[in-house]
Each structure stands twice: as structure tokens, then as C-alpha cells.
Amino acid sequence: MRADRAFTVRAISTFTGDRLYRVYLSGNQLAFIKIGGQAGVAEGVAAQFGLVGGLMLAWWKKRSRKKLEQRLAQEDQEDIELLLTRDPKNFLIHPGQVLGATLDPPARLSAHGRHCGFWKLEETDGKKHSFQFEDVSEMRQAMEILPRILGGVLTVNARWDENKKRYTKAEATTNAA
């Protein structure tokens, strides 16, 4: 089955490496497909080489972004079942497995790099996931998709502030199922 829509998030963790996921809406499930690993390593290395490191980092980031966009354009057309088998970190979540979820604006301070918002969810088996959105367009897409599929278990604590051009704290709204 091919995905209806998709967005990209970074799974963040204190004790394990971060993972970049493409989240596909497939029927009534969310498919998490790993598309990348730990961020920030290149920045740390580049910082050791001053201006030359900064120039190399800019080139590397542009090249990496272009390669990822090409890969996603291809993978977005593939069957979800095939994508799920490519990495043991890939997984599916059915809305019935979600005990609670929140969409939050960005934190003032973050140890996981620049971001524009958070998505936290807890499964019925107690497993908790924390994700951050690194691009505004990805968070917008998630804010369209997630309320429809998660319904009443999703609490939205973020709203777009046109004046500030970013997501800010909003009064919590829970979506009716």
C-alpha cells in the first residue's frame, strides 16, 4: 500500500542516538521509516576548523539535503510494506495503540539542535516517543494529518503566529474523536 501523506521528524533521546524518520499516513496507521541518523556531528567537527570548516559544512549540508530530497521523492512512491522491511528501527503505530499525544511549540533551549516544534506520544504499552520538527513545513503537514488520525488522544499546544513567523504556545485543544 502506498502512503497518502507524509512528514519528517527527528526522534530524540537522551541516551541513544537521534534518528530521522519519514512518517507516512498509510490507511489508518502511521508508518515510521528511518531515513537518517544522528544530527550535529558534522557541525561539531566543522567547528574545529574555523572558516574552512564552516565552508565545508555548508557544502556538505547542501549536498546531503539534495540527496535526501531525491531519495524521499523516490521512497514516497514505494509501498509502505517494502519500506518497513529495510531497517529494524522502522515501525507502525495504529491509533488504538496511542494513549496520548501532544504537539508543542519549540523549547527555548534544546540539546538536540534547531527545531520548530515537538510531537510527543505515549503508547498503551507505556512506550514513549519524543520527536522534533526541524522544518516549519513538516510541522504544518503533521498538524493537518495527526488530528485526523489520532482524534481525541491528541492535544495541540502550538499555534502559528503570523507576526513572529513561528509556532508559539496556544491554549491546549483536544480533538474530538
CA distance 51 to 158: 37
Contacts of 57 (CB under 8 A, 6+ apart): 42, 43, 46
In tens digits, the chain (177 residues) has pLDDT values of: 555 688 989 998 877 778 889 999 988 899 999 987 655 555 566 666 677 777 776 766 676 677 767 766 677 677 888 888 889 999 999 999 999 999 999 877 665 567 889 999 999 999 999 999 988 999 999 999 999 999 999 999 999 989 998 898 987 666 654
The vertex-6 CA angle with 100 and 89, nearest 5°, equals 70
CA distance 128 to 148: 21
CA distance 63 to 7: 21
**Contact, 58 vs 65, CB < 8 A?**
no
pLDDT of residue 44: 60
Tell me the one-letter amino acid at 110.
S
pTM of the model: 0.77
Q: What is the dihedral of CA 104, 108, 111, 115, to 10 degrees?
A: 50
Task: Report the chain's C-alpha Rg in angstroms.
Answer: 17
- Give the residue among 158, 28, 7 at the shortest CA–CA distance from 92: 28
Terminal CA-to-CA distance of the chain, rounded, Å? 25
